[in-house]
Structure 1
Amino acid sequence: MIIADQMLVKKMNQKVLLNEIVANSPISRARLSEITGLNKSTVSSQVNTLIEKNLIFEIGQGQSSGGRKPVMLVFNKNAGYSIGIDIGVDSINGILTDLKGNIVQDQYHHLEKPSLDSNKDLIFSLIKELNSKIPDSPYGLIGIGICVPGLVNTEQKVAFTPNIDWNYQLDLKALIEKEFKVPVFIENEANAGAYGEKVFGAAKNYQNLIYVSVGTGIGIGIVINNDLYRGVNGFAGEMGHLTIDFNGLKCSCGNRGCWELYASEKALLQGNGAITSSQELIHQANQNDPDTLMALQNFGFYLGIGLTSILNTFNPQAVIIRNDIVEALPMVLNSIRNSISSRGNDKLTNNHELLLSSLGKNAPALGTSSIVIEKFLELFTS
């Protein structure tokens, strides 16, 4: 029991030190001792272990504040590499990142058909292509993260994808793990986007936030006290199916009057006749086309209706919106703000930041990559 307790303490100390080095490198052993409260011999011992594992390295002497110059330590971001894959309705976005989330390679493919069976081979070839680009490193490919626009249960199996023809009997996680011999993590797209923004993007400084992904449908990712909230079965965040019109249009989920039937990008484009893409709509807006500007005003209005309910429910510090149109046209964000302020209680809806995604289309893929990195580093400290 004593030996087990000692091992646990060593692992905990190692985790604390590694987290500080990742966040604050370059940093000295003496400074680590000051920050963590661990004695110098413990710091020295655990730092040596992390050096042996190729997770950190020394870069030479820093500036002295009196006495001997300290040897500075740096996190080895090139010790291994992660792959993040975002499977969308009409596209697949793949990235290769180092352990700090820096994108080393990326691949983007437009999909002609939203079907897993049609695109499974493309997913595998994309992973192989990214894997072939990994530089020489101690650990190579450490894992693969994949996100999908649908329900992913706690066993990381896809349970429902309203806008993609998916073979629910197919265990994608097991197939990819068998092929590439590394851990694979499957996540909901909005959850992944929320985590990407939390770790690398606009939400770094917020502990409680809502990420809103507006595309063919609407999904939200919920972060509470720095952790993703997934719900009992993993299905939390399906706020696109919040009812805003109880006698409204029939939705593919079986409900009527769902928020995404009025406020998704799909709904916006369907209501604008000849315009078939977000890029074309943005162009028309920049040309001051009256019909397009009115449609965008309504788009922001309907987004604000759902967001008001979300703000009243979660009372987050920040709401982050991911959508090409909203990011390109400030008038839409203004329309959203006006809709929220006209419908909500000031005390409930004014104490938040309404932000645009800083990672754009890479947010979900970076989120899955960050999950892979987190799990990999836990292996050394648990």
Structure 2
Amino acid sequence: MNHKTWNQHVVKQENKALVLKTIIQLSPISRADIAQKTGLNKGTVSSLVSELMEEQLIYEYGPGESSGGRRPVMLLFNQVAGYSIGLDLGVNYLLGIVTDLQGNITQEKIIKFNNLSYEEIKKRLYEMIDNLISLTPESPYGIVGIGIGVPGTVSKSGKILLAPNLNWQNIDLKSTLKEKYNIPIIIENEANAGAYGEKLFGAGKEAKNIVYVSVGIGIGAGLILNNQLYRGNNGFSGEIGHMTIEIDGAKCSCGSMGCWELYASEQALVKNAKRAGLLTDSAELDNLLELAESGDEIAIQQFEHIGEYLAVGINNIINIFNPEQIIIGNRMASAERWLKNALEKRMLARTLWFQQRDLEINFSELSTHSAALGITAFVVENFFNSDLQKFSQAL
């Protein structure tokens, strides 16, 4: 194919993507309004709309409001043309959701576990994916992909290089899943996915510069800088749970000493609570939340202690990035009631006064679903972009 034809195809695909994006954002909308919003001429819009209708990504809906002449036919996005499966793989849980192409959750499943090997976790992953597939409604495009958020560093090709709290190293889960399910697979760091989920669907809709702090068994961070997810040079940004806050501190699973996640995470909370005689060996975060709910002072103090340590690391993040917003997510976000005061009190005392201006500290609005929703959004975007990719690969 010659260069000119290729360029024409690229322009057409970009225009088509623009028309679809406009319909998704402003649906219901008429052809004339699409032309006005996009700056494309009416003939181009009409032909691209016809293609999108043939592809069942949009549909027509009875006449809209008239502005004097004939009432226009309105176009709507067909959000149930396909579905996305997203899994948030935690160290001690697996959350799976099915969403339509607009991020609405239609199914969800969660299981909890402890100290499982890679093979055992893989078995549970397969079971959950199979279950979610069986519960997904019929649609023109079926399941457009599976995304998994993992607590570790992921290479640009989707290989899990290191997930210390799972004890995983150089795991190619992507190829394994691709072989088994034969649909597009996306593997992403769970904090990156969580940041994206909050930006699209949660507490981060308004801000351009966000640091999402995922507080689970470990701590990770996802960075949205100038409205874009920042992945770092090789995709390894956000390993913020492994910044040293105690030079001669305890040994971390990453091999370093005194890492922030040893003092401010779910694992730190449970460890401290056991030491205080509050919890038995098999107990976890949910048990401590129940105690705090019932007014147990010692349990509440455990959360407050974690809140103070969270403030230490968040203070460092603020001094480095000067964000508009910090969002605290993952399972510990459910303890907002007891974490927030201790966190804010310490922050006010420690953060440089000029960094405190125009800064919001929020807890996730999506509860524990930030990463799962973020990863399904990556899958849907990949589906919308794949036409152009397939075309370029065929050249």
Give the TM-score, by structure 1 length.
Answer: 0.95
Partner of 1:374: 381
Distance in 2, matches of 1:375 and 1:174, equals: 17
Residues 360 and 44 of structure 1, relative CA distance in 2, 3 Å threshold: same
Deviations 1:178-211 (A, max 9, x none): 1111110111111111111112222122222111
- The corresponding residue for 1:319 is 326
Describe the superposition over 1:289-315 as per-residue Cα deviations: whole angstroms up to 9, x where unpaired: 332232222211110110011011111
1:12 corresponding residue in structure 2: 14
Deviation at 1:216, TM superposition (A): 0.9
Q: Which residue of 2 aligns with 1:310?
A: 317
Equivalent of residue 366 in structure 2, options 359, 363, 369:
359
* The one of 40, 44, 68 aligned to 1:42: 44
5+ residue gaps, structure 2: 390-395
Structure 1: state its 5+ residue gaps.
Answer: none
Partner of 1:74: 76
Percent of residue pairs bearing the same amino acid type: 45
Task: Spell out, residue by residue over 1:35-69, the C-alpha distance to the aligned partner (whole angstroms, 9 max, x if none).
Answer: 11111111111111111111111111111121111
- Number of the residue aligned with 2:59: 57
Q: Equivalents in 1 of 2:27, 2:254: separation in Å?
A: 48
The range that moved more, 319-328 or 352-361, is 319-328
Distance in 2 between residues matched to 1:381 and 1:67, nearest whole Å: 38
* CA deviation map 1:71-97 (0-9, x unaligned): 111111111111111111111111111
Post-superposition offset of 1:7: 2.1
Q: Which amino acid aligns with 1:270?
A: K
Partner of 2:199: 198
CA distance in 1, matches of 2:142, 2:375: 17
Give distance in 2, aligned partners of 1:328 and 1:59: 45
- Quote the offset at 1:279 in angstroms: 2.3
The one-letter code sitting in structure 2 at the alignment partner of 1:147 is: G
Which AA in structure 2 matches 1:82? Answer: S
C-alpha RMSD over aligned residues: 1.6
What secondary structure does 2:323 align onto? coil
> CA shift at 1:337, angstroms?
1.3
3-state SS of the aligned residue for 2:67?
coil
Residues in 2 aligned to 1:280 and 1:131: alpha-carbon distance in whole angstroms: 32
Worse-matched range after superposition: 193-202 or 283-292: 283-292
In structure 2, the partner of 1:246 is: 247
- Which residue in 1 is equivalent to 2:259? 258
Q: Which residue of 2 aligns with 1:288?
A: 295
Report if the CA contact (8 A) 1:218-1:264 is conserved.
Answer: yes
1:298 to 305, 310, 328: 305
- From 327, 334, 345, give the equivalent of 1:338: 345
Name the SS of the counterpart of 2:301 in structure 1: helix
Q: Secondary structure at the match of 2:125?
A: helix
Q: Distance in 1 between matches of 2:256 and 2:327?
A: 26
Aligned length: 381
**Cα pair distance change 1:323/1:188, threshold 3 Å:** closer
Look up the equivalent residue of 2:9 and give its one-letter code. M
Amino acid across the alignment from 2:229: L
Q: Does 1:270 align with 2:277?
A: no
